[in-house]
Amino acid sequence: MKTKKSSVHDVQSRPSEPGRIKIGDLMVREGLLSPDGLERALQHQKKSDNYKPLGKVCVELKLISRQELQRFLRKHHQTMHLGDVLLNMGLISQKQLQHVLEQQHISSNRFGTLLVQSGIITESQLVEALSIQLDLPRIMPAPELVDPALLKGLDEMFFREHVFLPIQKQGRQVAVVMADPLDGELLQKLVNHYECRIIPSIATATDIMAAISTLFDAPNTRQNNLKMEKDLIALTHQTHLNKEKITPIAQFLLRSAVQEGATSLHIESQERYLRVRFRIDGILRHKTDLPQRLGPALVECLKTPFRVKRDKYWEEKIQVTIAGKQVELSISFFQGQWGESVVIYVLYPSDRLLSLDALGLSPVLFQRLNRFLESAGGILLSVSPIRQGKSTILYALLNHLNHLSRSILTLETVIEHSIPGVLQQHYTPDNPHPFSEMILAMGEYDSDILMVNQLPDLESISRINQISLLGKKILSSLQGGDTTAALFSLLSLKAEALLNSPVPLSFLAQKLVRRLCERCKSAYTPSEEELSTLGIRASDRGAFPFYQPVGCEDCMHQGYKGLGALHEWLDFTQPVRETLQQGQGRISASSLRKTARERHHLLSMAEDGIYKAIQGQTSLSEVRRVVMVHEGDAQNPRSLQDIHAVAQGKRSELF
């Protein structure tokens, strides 16, 4: 008699058992959640019209982050059933769980199979949950990642019957990707065949079978897939470490990143494996895991073309053609506990230069920006966190201001885009003259507009202040989460001369958010708590439509496709300056924002996000993800109708 093989899909979910510790108590015991936080989450869960798992409630209330929840679930995988994991990931509801459990009594299919067949979750989502529950890496079974030598001695039917593929061999270990990593019979056969320790990982059966077909049914296809552009081959062949094994992997990851429109490729050393993620639409998405022992060689392979000196944190940009696209790559790396990690940043030329209309400003902020651009002189600081669009805004402004009647100079540490008619200077670290001296020299030139792409120190800030007093218009940038964060950055640099200058000073802050997929977004009415957490009065929450992500083929089941931006504009006017002076440098952000809201009707970044959510551009959950709500804003909340009117610029008396 043939013994039934164990399967990951046999790990079933059942209702909580007597004596089994509850997830909330476990979170408190671990110190992840305070007792008060647990009580708050339980009360919210009880009041909710629709059941939500406790983990999801805690994330929505910002008691814990989504990453903390994932780590918690992975740590306690042995004490949690698959259904519990899926519930806390927010992939299924309690009602759906009960329905599938009832179906299982009359079906021979496994729990996970029933969920997929019912259309409740996708095969990929099931594998993600099983990876967390079983604490196994997820390796993408791409033909480019498979070492062909490991296929020898095993026929195609054996791979198809058992739905697995060997990936790489390092020393006495062979990494294998399986649809059923609990198949003890197969694992023993592989130990006997390879005479090595087998390191199992998990992937969908669909992906594994597709890779088997590519490897065995169409060998020429694999060769075509590995055919790369000439300069990319040269780029990855410069390493001397395991070149024949590492180069195809590096090429595949770079090509996949560009084909999927990623803005960065992350290769991160974990304790037991390498994690590969792509940043797409501002969010890191898991691509694949890889055997941990590949880490040093793969990282070195990717670093070498950038001429990075060993143990030196240095960045250089290179131009290459990948997947038929001319892109610019840059690199940064970090030595962590488990080894070195690397990030490859990808810049697409077509994305570099935007018009003012394409910045996505709400009507009132578009009016304020145009008012600044049309006025004589003044200083405008573009504000955002790193890689969130400061340079994009500056180049859009330069493009708009560029005219035969004007002389425009720039000083840039990196020239990201050349603009005909603008005199751009590239400042390199080996320049014998200090950055601030170069700014001063620009001021002596007969120009109308200056752009300095960064303000690294007080001396540079003092120079642009001096030049602005001559009537020249100055554009520059600061890192910060919003306008008041930028203002406090200037305070920390002791830039009193600039803050006391008679020259108009304005801040335009930006953060990127994902845009809802137009094909699958769904209208709904948010709860009062959803709005109140953003500092919004929810009395008229039914006055406007809101939309939430769903997921479809067009958006790769993410619910989002592309990026948009949230903005905040602050004019550093006399009332704001007086508030700052009254505090003698010890004023709070809330006080400054209160003055700006009362005297100039500051539209906060959260409120700008609300307006764009009403327009169907993004979701409330995205706004919550990226925006920090200031206490001063929340103490004097606006209604949805007020926000809509202000953002539209229809209340002229406000300005």
**pLDDT tens-digit map of 493-537:** 888 889 889 999 999 999 999 999 999 999 999 888 888 888 888
CA distance 41 to 311: 46
Mean pLDDT of the chain: 84
Beta bridge partners of 265: 278, 344
Pick from 398, 369, 391, 371: which is nearest to 567 by CA? 369
The predicted model scores a pTM of 0.75
3-state secondary structure 609-644: HHHHHHCCCCCHHHHHHHCCCCHHHHHCCEEHHHHH
Task: Assign domain 136-226 to a CATH class.
Answer: alpha beta
Structure tokens at 23: 């997830």
What Rg value do the Cα atoms of the chain yield, rounded?
A: 28
The domain locations on the chain are: 8-134, 136-226, 228-351, 357-654
Tell how far CA 13 is from the center of its chain: 32
- The answer to whether residues 570 and 484 touch, using CB atoms and an 8 Å cutoff, is yes
Q: Packing angle between helix 589-600 and helix 483-492, nearest 10 degrees?
A: 130
In angstroms, what CA-CA distances link 419 with 13, 356, 399? 60, 15, 7
In angstroms, what CA-CA distances link 270 with 273, 294, 577? 5, 12, 49
Least confident of 165-169, 287-291, 555-559: 555-559
CA distance 354 to 395: 7
E strands, 352-495, in order? 379-384, 408-412, 423-426, 449-452, 473-479
Structure tokens at 416: 């990201």
CATH code for residues 228-351: 3.30.450.90
pLDDT band for position 231 (cuts 50, 70, 90): low
- 89 CB-near residues (< 8 Å, 6+ apart): 55, 56, 73, 128, 129, 132
Q: Taking 60 as the threshold, does the pLDDT of residue 19 lie above it?
A: no
CA distance 256 to 370: 40
Structure tokens at 468: 């602005």
Amino acid residing at 242 = N
- Per-residue model confidence as pLDDT tens digits over 34-67: 888 898 888 887 776 665 778 878 888 888 887 7
Structural fold of domain 357-654: Rossmann fold (3.40.50)
Least confident of 29-38, 493-502, 590-599: 590-599
Q: Are strands 408-412 and 339-347 parallel, antiparallel or unpaired?
A: unpaired
Burial of 23-52, coded b for 16+ CB within 10 Å and e otherwise, reads bbebbbeeebbeeebbebbeebbeeeeeeb
Pick from 484, 497, 496, 518: which is nearest to 584 by CA? 496
Cα angle, residue 260 at apex, residues 255 and 264 outer, rounded to 5°: 75
Structure tokens at 392: 């994009």
- The answer to whether residues 197 and 174 touch, using CB atoms and an 8 Å cutoff, is yes
Least confident of 274-278, 359-363, 428-432: 428-432
- Per-residue model confidence as pLDDT tens digits over 620-645: 999 999 998 887 777 788 889 989 99
